[in-house]
Amino acid sequence: MSKLIGDFDQTNFKLTHKGYTAVPYQIKNWLIGTWRKLMQLPPETADMSLYFGSSIFAFLTYEISNIALYRWWGEMAAIPYLLASVASLRSVVRPPRRPRGTRIVIASLVFLTAVLVPLLAQILAQAGSLGTIAHAQPEVLVIEAAGSRLLSGQALYPVIHTARLTVPSTSSVPLTNAFFPYLPGMALFGIGSALIHTPKALGDPRVGFVLITLVASGLAVVWRPKTQRSPMLAFQAMAILPTAALPLVTGGDDIPVVALMALGIVLLARQRWCWSGIVLGIAAILKFTAWPLVIIAAIALA
């Protein structure tokens, strides 16, 4: 059995199997160390490194991803990230008169070209499609179907007899009514697409994802503890870099939940107990992902 599942070394926390070694603790420490080094760099140098790394990530996504939607985003985002890296390099070599304003302008242009433009293109393309997943992840269609059921008074979690399920003739059309793997609050993002008088593009759940992410992460940055050195870096990670850009464009539903969790923790640190509970409660009715943080907040308040 040990040959099949590998040998666990409790001393080094290594799982080995057929010559391959996975060292999650070392990877975690490396990521933490890299983040701390970025925090210690001058802001323009950190921006240059992050945008250049993002450009490489986008290019690799375009080259090696087996998901067409991801490849399309990588093709669209690689050049904007690279140009932002060059602009940040120029700020390092020749510091501008208003370095903070320059960073904000560069970040805004990156958000426009690597997030908003690809997102708008995919939303418009999805609005013209017939319920396929060519321009959105399956989660988007599942949430839209849940919003339609909620608006019509149907059950969000219907009992489905698997023997009666009809498999579509094409794999690009998912069984959106077969399951709803979220908590009830997530269905609210799908109501817009079900409204008769709402344009299809404006009702796309990704519009709500982006708005919630921007508002929550922006407030978290503004209300952050003043001891934090780089608020821009936190906002970049939440809305501009590939950590957020790729899921926001394609339809990942985790980013708004994470943004609400971050805002809840910031409010908790500022001793805004009531507002922290409200924000974390909103996150908790969207996905189970937020529940551990709600428990931690409850313990902190006890």
Q: How far is CA 183 from CA 186, 285, 289, 290, in A?
A: 6, 6, 10, 11
Is a pLDDT exceeding 90 seen at residue 166?
Answer: no
| Amino acid in position 110 | V
d(CA 174, CA 167): 9
Kind plus residue range of the DSSP H or E element containing 254: helix 254-269
> pLDDT tens-digit profile of 104-154?
999 999 999 999 999 999 999 888 775 566 788 889 989 999 998 898 888
> pLDDT tens-digit profile of 226-263?
765 668 888 898 999 999 999 999 998 999 999 999 99
Beta bridge partners of 249: none
| Residue 75 in tokens | 């093709």
Q: What pLDDT score was predicted for residue 11?
A: 38
Overall average pLDDT of the 63-87 stretch: 95
Please report which confidence band the pLDDT of residue 15 belongs to, taking 50, 70 and 90 as the band edges. Answer: very low
Query: In the chain, how long is the greatest CA-to-CA distance?
Result: 68
Overall average pLDDT of the 43-55 stretch: 93
d(CA 293, CA 257): 11
Q: What pLDDT score was predicted for residue 302?
A: 67
For the chain, the structural domain boundaries read 1-40
Percentage with pLDDT > 70 across the chain: 78
Q: How far is CA 218 from CA 9, 17, 54, 212, in A?
A: 43, 44, 21, 10
Mean pLDDT score of the chain: 82
Please report which confidence band the pLDDT of residue 286 belongs to, taking 50, 70 and 90 as the band edges. Answer: very high
